[in-house]
Amino acid sequence: MFGRKSLKNEMSILYNQLEKLNKKIQSNNIHELIYILGNKKEIMKRNFIAGIFRGVGIGIGVTLITAILIIILNRIVALNIPIIGKYISDIVDVVEKSR
């Protein structure tokens, strides 16, 4: 039914396809992903570290944005705009008293 040449040809094609697949797996570091997904301790360790860095980043970001807003509000108060200046000065006073 199958000749030796056709079987060798099919085996050669299969071998070439496996080689291409192996190169793609190695180039995309899929083997590391498979290791990580199979290891529960590794997943927990990476997620814990990522959570710590996200928390620190959020804390720093909120602090910087609040500081910038206070500086902007202080400059608006310095312009002595009649209606807006009074409300902003009250907000700035409340924020500075809470420090």
Query: pLDDT per residue over 36-91, tens digit each?
Result: 777 788 888 888 999 999 999 999 999 999 999 888 888 877 777 777 777 777 88
| C-alpha–C-alpha distance, residues 44 and 31, integer Å | 19
* pTM, 2 dp: 0.48
Please say whether the beta carbons of 39 and 32 come within 8 A: no
Lowest mean pLDDT among 1-5, 21-25, 66-70: 1-5
Pseudo-torsion of CA 41, 25, 27, 35, nearest 10°?
A: 10
